[in-house]
A and B are shown apart, each in its own frame.
Chain A
Amino acid sequence: MLTFTIRRLVLAIPTLLFISLVIFLLLELAPGDPMAQVPLTVPPEVKEQMRIALGLGEPIHIRFWKWLVQFFWIEPQVLIDHILGTRFSTGDPRVISWQTRSPVMDIVVQRIPQTLWVVGTAYVVGILIALPIGIYSAYRQYSWFDQAGTFVSMIGFSVPPFFSGVLVIVIFSVNLGWFPSIYDTTLQVVDWASFRQQLMQMVLPVMVLALQITAQISRFMRASMLDNLNQDYVRTARAKGLSEYTVVMLHVLRNSMIPVVTVIALGVPSIFGGAIITEQVFKVNGIGQLLIGAIQANDLPMVQTLAFIFAVLIVLFNLIADVLYGILDPRIRYD
């Protein structure tokens, strides 16, 4: 199992390097000019010096290497310093945002908790709803419950978050006035009233994200249960006289969960991507909104870093899914 994990880890490194190269080159080859916003009265030689000050004077491969060093060597040091109070990174150049002139990672760290709260809650809620739906739909295949589940998940697939988000705002916020339509990130949870307010403002974004997650995972759960319900070991279990609950909830469910667990792990990064839109709709002050703001402000270091963080998430959760599959299903390990 350890060699399996190590092999996967080693494979992840070239993937990450390739992705960082793609992101870097995409921004590099693009014809946009970071000096485009500078007033025309600034003389060309001053512009050239500003360009060099931004680190744009060097050839591409040197800048790529510097960026890699900044991202993989200096930023982890900053993190260690922050946790342990050491001074490894003093004086090292960090990735600086063109927009705010402060280190990119500091801003990202400020924004991540909001995203994690909303996305994390939505993911947990979505999974908790999806699993029972999937199990019961498979157990009573083609019943009205199954048909309704299929229809709801089709809707979950088809209604994009920028429409479902706006729709729930119209219904619950404008017409009924139950929940606030805007997520207030300055809210401090100190007592029961503010906690209640926090819950209220989380309901709508979580609802929108959870609909999509439920649609996907309940389909997978159903398909996986259906695969297992017709297996011979199920007939054996029934023939032994086990109760229906034991057969379905212990024997079938445990085997069906293997692919579903990996799908759950694989879905985490894509949910961060989907949260970009949901954050925009509900004005959640998270990393998705940070990305959109950085793109509109032409802040390339910020965009690079954020795109790369998304890539790291994807690779990391692919790895977790692979390893989980190996742990849960011993047949996979020895391929």
Chain B
Amino acid sequence: MTESLHDKATDPKDEIASLAAHDPVAAIVRGPMPDRPPRSQWLDVWDQFKSHKGALWGGIIFLIIVLGVFIGPLLWSVEPTFIDIRSRNQGPSLAHPFGTDQLGRDILARMMAGGQISVAVGMAAMSLALFLGSFVGVIAGFFRRLDGPLMRLTDLFLALPLLPLLLVMMLLFREPLNAAFGPEQGIFILIVGAIGITSWMPTARIVRGDVLALKEREFVLAARSIGTTNTKMITRHILPNVLSPIMVSATLGIANAIITESALSFLGLGFPPDFPTWGRLLFDGTDYLQQYPERVIWPGIAISMTVLSVNYLGDGLRDALDPRIRGR
């Protein structure tokens, strides 16, 4: 049945199998066949990942949060900036499940809008940091001549006082970027750029270490001996093999970026007031701490839950992607 579906001439595996069925010598040459169907590497990774309960729940919660903030506004179609001054400072009700703030804006809608920005900043800053970090790491590990200077550069960046520098960058580059890209785009570019530039160093170090180890392996020598160019070597052989540390730093990078963005917004140096993010909502809520503590609690829980779930996700991913642990 199945053989008729396959084209024998182009499928050598089927050809061998059909030959072996008739020829006993070929059956011996072929050796023992595994009784289980072949499994891909990613299936193994998934199995290990599933067995780590914290990681699984972290992944699920992170997915729920991301879906909630991006799909939620389609279902809950209240404008986050719509001011209804008559219904200000309300507690939770059917019309406003999380209540309203001092200007009568719906807090649920603001939470979702803020989450979109916070998650988007986290993802974008993480991608930038990851790109810079993997680039520096691969180049430093692969080209011996660039290793020293690039690693010194990484050390120097690690010695910079990051939070003060971030604050200074916010102060200095806010106006020109606002003028060039508009208040929302400008501050988004500024925050993503600032966080990305100041958080690539751990990734670069980890990737460099892995690349240095990989470079001594036989398959790299084999690839080199058949005349693979450096570019092809990096894209085909090195990068796929350092994917797991990169993925782990990606999860940690999201958590770090979300916390940093919230901290900047909390210090009043992040997004402008009419542009809610979780950090900004928390900052605005502290003025009404005594009367309405829930206004601080909601965004705080959102930030903490996101970061906690991402951290657990990264923890599980590290175990799942490590083949030495996976066998156990």
List residues of chain A with CB under 8 Å of any chain B CB: 15, 18-19, 22-23, 26-27, 30-32, 154-155, 157-160, 162-163, 166-167, 169-170, 174, 269, 273-274, 276-277, 280-281, 291-292, 295-296, 298, 303, 306-307, 310-311, 313-315, 318
Contact = CB atoms under 8 A, between A and B. Distances in A.
Contacts of B164: 273, 276, 291, 303, 306-307, 310
7 contacts: A15-B159, A26-B169, A154-B308, A163-B304, A273-B163, A277-B263, A310-B164
Contact of B282 (A157, A162, A280, A315): A162
Given A154-B311, A154-B312, A162 B175 contact: no
B161 interface: yes
B325 to A, nearest CB: 14
B54 to A, nearest CB: 8
Contacts of B297: 167, 170
Given A162-B279, A269-B161, A295-B269, 15 more contacts: A19-B156, A26-B169, A27-B172, A31-B176, A154-B311, A154-B312, A158-B304, A163-B304, A167-B300, A274-B163, A281-B286, A298-B171, A306-B164, A307-B161, A310-B161
Interface string B283-297: 101100110010011
Interface in B242-263: 255, 259, 262-263
Contact of B165 (A23, A160, A280): A23
Contacts of A32: 171-172, 175
Nearest to A308: B161
A307 B289 contact: no
A31 B263 CA distance: 24
A169 to B, nearest CB: 7
A233 to B, nearest CB: 24
A235 B258 CA distance: 45
A160 B168 CA distance: 21
Contact of A295 (B156, B161, B171, B283): B171
A30 B165 contact: no
Contacts of A174: 289-290, 293
B167 interface: yes
Q: Which of B168, B283, B285 has the most A CB atoms < 10 Å from its CB?
A: B168
A301 B111 CA distance: 38
A285 B174 CA distance: 27
Given A269-B161, A307-B164, A170 B304 contact: no
Contacts of B167: 276, 291-292, 295
Chain B interface size band reads 35 or more
Contacts of B161: 269, 273, 307, 310-311, 313-314
Nearest to B163: A273
B49 interface: no
Contacts of A158: 255, 304, 307-308, 311
A15 B157 CA distance: 10
B262 to A, nearest CB: 6
Nearest to B258: A160
The 8 closest A-B pairs by CB, nearest first: A30-B172, A310-B161, A163-B300, A158-B308, A158-B307, A162-B266, A273-B163, A307-B164
A154 B282 CA distance: 21
A163 B301 CA distance: 8
Report which residue of B164, B173, B263, B300 has the largest number of chain A beta carbons within 10 angstroms of its beta carbon.
B164
Interface string B139-179: 00000000000000001100111111101111111011000
A277 B303 CA distance: 16
A79 B23 CA distance: 94
Contacts of A277: 263, 266-267
A103 B21 CA distance: 92
B226 to A, nearest CB: 37
From B255, B269, B286, residue with most partner A Cβ within 10 Å: B286
Contacts of B285: 166
A26 B165 contact: yes
Contacts of B156: 15, 18-19
Contacts of B263: 160, 162, 277
B197 to A, nearest CB: 11
B312 A166 contact: no
Given A26-B169, A154-B312, A158-B304, A170 B159 contact: no
A167 B303 CA distance: 13
A15 B155 contact: yes
A280 B265 CA distance: 13
Interface in B164-220: 164-165, 167-173, 175-176
Contacts of A157: 307, 311
A18 B172 CA distance: 20
Nearest to A310: B161
A12 B303 CA distance: 37
Among B285, B297, B300, the one with the most A-chain Cβ atoms within 10 Å of its Cβ is B300
Contacts of A307: 161, 164-165, 168
Contact of B163 (A159, A170, A276): A276
Contacts of B308: 154-155, 158-159
B289 A160 contact: no
Contacts of A31: 172-173, 175-176
Given A19-B156, A26-B169, A295-B171, A166 B296 contact: yes
A174 B170 CA distance: 33
Given A15-B155, A19-B159, A19-B160, A166 B286 contact: yes
